[in-house]
Amino acid sequence: MLPFLRLAAGLASRSAQARAGDTARRIVLSLVAGMFALVGAGFLTAAGWLALAWPLGAIGASLVVGGVFLLLALILLLAAGARRRSPVETEMQALKAQAQALASRVPEEVAKAPALPLMGAFVGGLLLALRLRR
């Protein structure tokens, strides 16, 4: 009975940790992208001003620098939207293998504890809900 509870608790904590880490990464990358966008907008504004004030080579350099910062901001925003799934998927495969090993012991455990089928149904429902949530 205890292994089923450990399995359910492990699933819940790993899923929450993965989502929290992914959200934090997206927030940080979005903030950095916003900073690059502000710097790029500043350079593009300065370049526009220079284009009107003095038509020389410094203008082209300012436009290039501003464009590079805006390009960096776009790249970071795209990276913030991307989700990494490989570490969680490998942990889920290990947990599935553990669940299959536990499922093979069900008949023995049912004989020891009559409330076990109810708990097994609960854990099965929890696993199904987590899978459908993806």
Instruction: Give, for 96, the enclosing helix (H) or strand (E).
Output: helix 86-104
In this predicted structure, what is the pLDDT of residue 55? 56
Q: In the prediction, which pLDDT does 36 show? A: 92
Query: Model confidence over 13-57: pLDDT tens digits?
Result: 677 677 777 888 889 999 999 999 989 888 777 776 677 566 556
CA distances to 43, 65, 81, 114 from 52, in Å: 14, 18, 37, 84
pTM for the predicted model, two decimal places = 0.36
CB 14 within 8 A of CB 85: no
Task: Specify the residue for token string 């708990």.
Answer: 119
Q: How far is the C-alpha of 40 from the C-alpha of 109, rounded, in Å?
A: 64
